[in-house]
Amino acid sequence: MLFSHESASPSQTPRDTGLEDALPDLLALFANVPESRKPRGLIFPLAFTLTAALIAMLGGAAYFRQIADQVADFPQELVEKLGGRWCYFLTRFRTPCDRTFRRVFDCVDVAVLESEIGAWLRKRAQYDDDGVLRLAIDGKVLRGVWTDENEQFTLFSAMVHCDGITIAQVKVPPDTNEITQVKALLDHVTSREGERVIITMDAAHTQRDTAEYLAGTRGFDYIMTIKANQPTLRDAVMNKTVPLVENAPDHTVRERNRGRINTWETWITNADGINFPHAQQTARIRRRTYDLDGQKTRQEYAFIITSLSARDATAVDLNDDVRNQWGIENKSHYIRDTVWHEDAQHINNGTAPHVKATLANTANSLLRLHGHTDIKRTTEWISRNPLRALALLVTQRN
């Protein structure tokens, strides 16, 4: 969505931007999150600190110092509405320093924070035209963060395909990997009566237990890619789909992009004879890349298995869903690294890196909810006047 530099002028007051409607909802959400700080002597309530940090991150603040600097530059009427405390010596409302933000982030019950924010965004996420909720799940390693056990810090998240909104995220325990955390991630994702939920994932999650949990326990549908980690299943699907390639594809996409031409050809058939929980269909996708002279430079096949029946998913649907799975890399992980510099930060104290990633997800999701796709430029626009962020906090429920 294109934004206008006239849409929020520096002279706007909080009331002009919908602050009276926006902040109470968000402050109440953050106020429900437990923390380990002792109440005696607290200067900055948790709701104030998290909301101020979120607004600063909507303005592109990436490091704790940047968050503190942006909050210090907030208009005084905004700090007041956030719940700031008046200082009689400074004759102004006080704001936290970077060390305070770091300490507060380390005191948050991050599981409750994720649950509250995920439910809040879940109610506001848009559905596809067919009323289906499509979620991509994937893990991201925070390269600058290490756990107490000297293990890498990995967060595993679920993102809505069409919007790029992250509605769930969990930390992967250091003694395991994200494959074991599908249940922990999706247990809090609820579906409405009669609603279909489709989960897409990369090949690492093509596991029998995952398929049984999704389709058998939760009633969700899955679309899984098969690679060498499941050789028996891959061979079965490969043999099943080999005869299909002799015929014309059921669906073909051809795109020109970045000096090359890409084609995706999809063949689809039933999963009869395939030993995998709740499998209904299987597919083969041939990906070919050509240079602009028409010379083929690359060819590869992807093998797909899904619990969706022929009535619920065509070759067109499967091709779109498989390609949109990679949206979690482009719309979420890449943005967290390039806008909020997640991999460049060394935050090794407690829950702070997780809380910071949660707020980055929330900022990214709010921007996308309002149609902004040029995330970097939009955060720069907001940084020049933080009151512009307030309109993003006013979201409508589906």
Confidence at residue 26, expressed as pLDDT on a 0 to 100 scale:
86
Ordered strands of the 260-270 beta sheet? 166-171, 152-160, 133-146, 197-200, 221-226, 296-306, 281-290, 260-270, 251-257
Residue 249: is its pLDDT beyond 90? yes
Phi, then psi, of 127 in degrees rounded to 5: -100, 160
| Angle of CA points 273, 277, 278, to nearest 5° | 85
Q: How confident is the model at residue 280 (pLDDT cuts 50, 70, 90)?
A: very high
Phi, then psi, of 189 in degrees rounded to 5: -90, 115
Confidence at residue 376, expressed as pLDDT on a 0 to 100 scale:
96
Q: How many CB atoms lie within 10 A of CB 274?
A: 16
**Do 242 and 290 reside in the same domain of the chain?**
yes
Higher-pLDDT residue of 74 and 394 is 74
Confidence at residue 395, expressed as pLDDT on a 0 to 100 scale:
56
User: 276 with 305: CB under 8 angstroms?
Assistant: yes
Confidence at residue 260, expressed as pLDDT on a 0 to 100 scale:
84
Q: How confident is the model at residue 169 (pLDDT cuts 50, 70, 90)?
A: very high
* 55-59, 143-147, 258-262, 375-379: segment of lowest average pLDDT: 143-147
Examine residue 51 and state whether it is found in any structural domain, yes or no: yes
Most confident segment among 119-123, 290-294, 380-384: 380-384
Examine residue 302 and state whether it is found in any structural domain, yes or no: yes
Residue 174: is its pLDDT beyond 50? yes
Question: pLDDT tens for residues 227-241?
Answer: 998 999 999 999 999
Nearest to 181 by CA among 193, 170, 168, 195: 170
Confidence at residue 47, expressed as pLDDT on a 0 to 100 scale:
94
Look at residues 289, 311, 333 and tell me which one is the last residue of a structural domain: 311
Q: How confident is the model at residue 19 (pLDDT cuts 50, 70, 90)?
A: very low
Examine residue 241 and state whether it is found in any structural domain, yes or no: yes
Examine residue 372 and state whether it is found in any structural domain, yes or no: yes
Q: How confident is the model at residue 149 (pLDDT cuts 50, 70, 90)?
A: low
Examine residue 303 and state whether it is found in any structural domain, yes or no: yes
Confidence at residue 127, expressed as pLDDT on a 0 to 100 scale:
66
Confidence at residue 21, expressed as pLDDT on a 0 to 100 scale:
53
CA atoms of 128 and 49, how far apart (whole Å)? 35
Residue 339: is its pLDDT beyond 80? yes
Examine residue 156 and state whether it is found in any structural domain, yes or no: no
**Do 368 and 284 reside in the same domain of the chain?**
no
Look at residues 311, 332, 359 and tell me which one is the last residue of a structural domain: 311
Nearest to 244 by CA among 275, 266, 276: 266
Residue 337: is its pLDDT beyond 60? yes
Examine residue 262 and state whether it is found in any structural domain, yes or no: yes
CA atoms of 122 and 217, how far apart (whole Å)? 21
- Could you tell me the CA-to-CA distances from 312 to 22, 198, 307 in Å, in that order? 39, 11, 10
CA atoms of 230 and 211, how far apart (whole Å)? 13
**Do 238 and 305 reside in the same domain of the chain?**
yes
> Any residues with CB less than 8 A from the CB of 283 and at least 6 apart, and which?
241, 266, 267, 268, 269, 303, 304, 305, 306, 315, 318
Question: pLDDT tens for residues 64-96?
Answer: 999 999 999 999 999 998 989 898 988 999 999
Examine residue 67 and state whether it is found in any structural domain, yes or no: yes
* Cα dihedral sign, 389-69-28-137: positive
What percentage of the chain has pLDDT greater than the value 70?
91
**Do 235 and 299 reside in the same domain of the chain?**
yes
Q: How confident is the model at residue 16 (pLDDT cuts 50, 70, 90)?
A: very low
CA atoms of 125 and 145, how far apart (whole Å)? 30
Look at residues 311, 338, 369 and tell me which one is the last residue of a structural domain: 311
How many independent structural domains does the chain possess? 2
Confidence at residue 244, expressed as pLDDT on a 0 to 100 scale:
93
Q: Which domain holds residue 356?
A: 19-111+348-393
